[in-house]
Amino acid sequence: MNESKAFIDLCLVAGRFSPHYAGPSERFRRYAPALRELGVNLRVITVRRSYDELAVDQVDDIPVERHSILADDDTARTSTSRLLPSVFKSFRKTGQWPDVLQLLTPPMAGDVPLLWQARANGLPIILVSTMMLDEISGLRARLYNAWIFSPFNLIVTSSSVMTDQLAGRVSFPKRIETIPNGVDCRRFHPVESAEERAKLRQRFGFDPDDEIIIYVGSITPRKGVDTLVTAWQEIIKQRPRARLLLVGPHRRSKGAEPADDAIIAFCDKMDALISQSTAPARVTFTGEVRNVEDYLQAADIFVFPSISEGMPNVVPEAMAVGLPCVMTPFKGLPTEFGKSGRDYILVEHQPLEIAGAVLDLCCNTARRSNISNNALAWVKKNLDVKMSLYRYAQLYRRLAKPGQDRINIV
């Protein structure tokens, strides 16, 4: 960055970016306008997943460079690994070196020397770690972890649970900073009136007296949605006006990316569970949506039966809308979500446990209101996105090095 340059140039390298859904990159897509107001310009380098996609385009005013690496079956991590050599080649060719480079997944072992060389030549590199790590044992595994996390100036986690876990994997724990995923309370907020909610329901084809149980997220085994569908079969027996709304990417959604065998088998299992229920027509899949807040505002109860997470955005978003949240004790459950029994309901990852919690909230309006009000107050006090964005902007400015010549990085 030149001395006279007013903005920090932040380059995000992401294995997936809109319109290809991934929670972490979607979060920074949403963060971009506010970061710009704080003096940080975001640009993205990602993969080009079809020849129909433009090599250079914009998504919501974010410059996006899509490299011609067709990797439909790759994970976000392997896609990022494929990208990195091409990323630095592009920087050398154009001379457009960023002030800060940010990754959303740890590198593969073979990428570490390239990142170390870039860092040695003055390019600050950040990892935003978005998931709890797999458990490891043995010296070899620990050395591998220390190696892949070594080239980063700073590692950002979204919860204290993730920070504590990661501290045992890196050589310098002081390089870890916790910045919770914030909620845009201007976008995610309770409906202003019963009439407004009735209009939302009418728009989505729901009846005013439907009891809408909503889940938001991808339809994958890790998210535990099959347990929720099994629980819903118990719920519908006692609450005939119940409706299950599943919001998120499904392998049969319009424009869905190719799925591996495990995802296909899981979705087939989901379809079978639903078709065998007493009311299959009362289950709705939306696919990926951009107006998730409207679906949350139309609902009554939010359920999140995940098995493993980092800090899922959708939980505090549901809280900010004023929904009572039923969760299972997933790996990575953060203290940043508040207190179980006060701000949300925590039950075992069993269909009958989930069904019991939902049925209790359906019948007990006072408890439902109490949980909702507590959660809303907690989010406003502790998880407003403004605080998170300010901390990210300060972090980028602290790391950026004005006038640094990085032309010799190879």
Residue 68 pLDDT > 90: no
Cα 109 to Cα 46, 76, 112, 114, 147, distances in angstroms: 20, 15, 6, 10, 7
Q: What is the mean pLDDT of residues 19-29?
A: 88
With bands split at pLDDT 50, 70 and 90, how would you rate the model's confidence at 245?
A: very high
At 240 the pLDDT is 95
Residue 51 pLDDT > 50: yes
The CA R_g of the chain, rounded to the nearest whole Å, is: 22
Contacts for 188 with CB less than 8 Å, ≥ 6 apart: 293, 296, 317, 320, 321
At 137 the pLDDT is 78
The 3-class SS string of the chain reads CCCCCCCEEEEEECCCCCCCCCHHHHHHHHHHHHHHHCCEEEEEEEECCCCCCCCEEEECCEEEEEECCCCCCCCHHHHHHHHHHHHHHHHHHHCCCCCEEEECCCCCHHHHHHHHHHHHCCCCEEEECCCCCCCCCCHHHHHHHHHHCCCCCEEEECCHHHHHHHHCCCCCHHHEEECCCCECCCCCCCCCCHHHHHHHHHHHCCCCCCEEEEEECCCCHHHCHHHHHHHHHHHHHHCCCEEEEEEECCCCCCCCCCCCHHHHHHHHHHHHHHHCCCCHHHEEEEECCCCHHHHHHHCCEEEECCCECCCCCHHHHHHHHCCCEEECCCECCCHHHCCECCCEEECCCCHHHHHHHHHHHHHCHHHHHHHHHHHHHHHHHHCEHHHHHHHHHHHHHHHCCCCCCCCCCC
With bands split at pLDDT 50, 70 and 90, how would you rate the model's confidence at 257?
A: low
At 3 the pLDDT is 41
Q: What is the mean pLDDT of residues 135-141?
A: 81
Q: What is the mean pLDDT of residues 120-126?
A: 93
Q: What is the mean pLDDT of residues 246-251?
A: 84
Lowest mean pLDDT: which of 214-228, 249-263, 285-299? 249-263
Specify the pTM: 0.84
Q: What is the mean pLDDT of residues 248-256?
A: 63
At 401 the pLDDT is 64
**CATH no., domain 194-383:** 3.40.50.2000
> Rounded to 5 degrees, what are φ and ψ at 207?
-85, 155
At 71 the pLDDT is 57
At 408 the pLDDT is 42
Residue 244 pLDDT > 90: yes
Residue (of 391, 401, 403) closest to 38 by Cα position: 391
With bands split at pLDDT 50, 70 and 90, how would you rate the model's confidence at 264?
A: confident
Class of domain 8-182+386-399: alpha beta
Residue (of 291, 288, 289, 364) closest to 326 by Cα position: 364
One fold for both 8-182+386-399 and 194-383? yes
CB atoms within 10 A of CB 19: 12
Query: Of 282 and 52, which is predicted with more confidence?
Result: 282
Q: What is the mean pLDDT of residues 79-95?
A: 90
Q: How much of the chain, in percent, has pLDDT values that exceed 90?
A: 65
At 251 the pLDDT is 64
At 145 the pLDDT is 85
Query: Of 168 and 82, which is predicted with more confidence?
Result: 82
At 78 the pLDDT is 86
Residue 410 pLDDT > 60: no
At 252 the pLDDT is 59
Residue 406 pLDDT > 60: no
Q: How remote is the C-alpha of 265 from its chain's centroid? A: 24
378, 338 in Cβ contact below 8 A? Answer: yes
Residue (of 274, 296, 279) closest to 215 by Cα position: 296
Residue 254 pLDDT > 80: no
Which residues is 127 bridged to in the sheet?
Answer: 103, 155
Category of 194 on φ-ψ map: left (φ > 0), alpha (ψ -120 to 50) or beta: alpha
Q: What is the mean pLDDT of residues 385-400?
A: 95
Q: Using one digit for the tens of pLDDT, what is the confidence trace for 326-341?
A: 999 999 999 999 999 9
At 140 the pLDDT is 85
At 34 the pLDDT is 94
> What residue ranges do the domains of the chain occupy?
8-182+386-399, 194-383
Residue 1 pLDDT > 70: no
> Rounded to 5 degrees, what are φ and ψ at 260?
-80, 175
CB atoms within 10 A of CB 192: 9
Six-digit token string for 369: 């209101």
Residue 402 pLDDT > 60: no
At 173 the pLDDT is 67
Six-digit token string for 194: 């019963």
Residue type, 249: P
24, 31 in Cβ contact below 8 A? Answer: no
At 255 the pLDDT is 46
Query: Of 142 and 337, which is predicted with more confidence?
Result: 337
